[in-house]
Amino acid sequence: MFAEYWNPYIERMPIEDLHKLQEERLRSLVRYVHDHSRFYRQRFQEAGVEPDDIKKLSDVTKLPFTSKRDLRNTYPTGMFCIPENWVVRYHVSSGTTGKPTVVGYTQGDVDMWTESLARALTSIGLGRGDVIQVSYGYGLFTGGLGLHYGAERIGATVLPTGAGNTERQIELMQDLGSTAIACTPSYFLYINEVAQKMGVSIRNDTKLRAGILGAEPWSEETRKRIEDSTGIKAYDIFGTSEMSGPLFTECHLQNGIHIWADLFLIEVIDPKTGMRVEDGERGELVVTSLDKWAFPLIRYRTGDITILNNEQCECGRTHPRIMRILGRTDDMIIVRGINVFPSQVESVLMRIPEIGDNYQIIVDRKGPLDVMTVKVEVTESTFSDKIADLMSLSREVGRQLKNVLNITAEVELVEPGAIPRSEGKAQRVIDMRRV
């Protein structure tokens, strides 16, 4: 029997009390960054807002947004609120263009990060007696260390494999009795693929029962495929390197990711207008940190597209939930005026049994027109079918994609293993128009 809550008082706090706590912490935070951050002091001045203007929770909308561009423009430590000799940890997020972002931590910030994940891991039934294999990257990337500390805090045994060396990972999973694994969903699919080639069944030859999967958008259909093929329960995890890396998971009910409201204040906005959308509507996630001191964030635009759910979860936790990350504003592809998210493509492909686990979306321009090609692996048995059967499958995939996307995509079926594998985040989109 697992512990139901890590911190029952906070996790089940009445919503009115939770909002009051958020309000107090928001006022304190705004005063703190005004006094200790040259960046925010100037940004508040430009917005015409003073700390005393923030009296209630709804006043957060008076505060200006923060973006990743701000972090890069103040590289490396221009947004820090403490002297550098108080920083106990740096993490650096690499970007495809421009400067990376540098995040600093006090010991208190590290403890907050650990506390958040202790609550999260407990909510999915993990604790003392579990062996948690952490297959996220370590080092500058926040994923590995975040899960590592959270797992240790709840009394679990940590197997810090990091990413890569997949056959060895599978051997250790068997030999040391891993009961949970933390990695990207695409890497777990690859682990399962390699295991099958080794003659190892995740379901029958390991003790694995839970996957803590994230760091890239993935669909509900992919979850079903993972659970059906391996017998584990696959839980969604969320966080950004700017916030502190992985912080939040679904609970055992798998019905939305619990965001600890005593630690973070969240909004969902229209990415174009910056105005809040109604609960249940899709929009961009905006985060304000309420308990971070080296590198606090005010209304940080994450770029992640999600849906906010403020209803109390059946698990008893009163904190708000976000539903599955549907994509990123910067991952969205515009093809002939239509907005396309990779997660939409994935949701179609994973419903088709003849389709394998790996795909790529390639966008190019032929003359004045954009052309989107979905390159997708088929299963071993399907690849051996007649050409006529493959052509029929290609047409069916194209038809289903058009129904969902409202545009025509060329479908290229390829043999199993033809698409490059990743031991981290999978590269799902290749936009040749930018080359």
pLDDT tens column, 28-47 = 999 999 999 999 999 999 99
The CATH architecture assigned to 333-434 reads 2-Layer Sandwich (3.30)
Mean pLDDT of the chain: 94
Q: What is the pTM of this model?
A: 0.89
Averaged pLDDT, 228-241? 96
- List the chain domain ranges: 1-328, 333-434
Range of lowest pLDDT (18-22, 96-100, 200-204, 271-275)? 96-100
| Integer Cα distance of 187 and 200 in angstroms | 16
43, 71 contact by CB (below 8 A):
no
Is the pLDDT assigned to residue 95 strictly greater than 60? no
| Integer Cα distance of 415 and 382 in angstroms | 9
pLDDT tens column, 176-225 = 999 999 999 999 999 999 999 999 999 999 999 999 999 888 899 999 99
Asked if the domains at 1-328 and 333-434 fall in one CATH topology, the answer is no
Alpha helices of 309-378 — where are they, by DSSP H?
A: 342-349
Residue-wise DSSP of 147-158: HHHHHHHTTPEE
**CATH code of the region 1-328:** 3.40.50.12780
Whole-angstrom Cα Rg for the chain: 22
pLDDT tens column, 393-417 = 999 999 999 999 988 999 999 999 9
Per the DSSP assignment, residues forming a β-bridge with 103 are 91
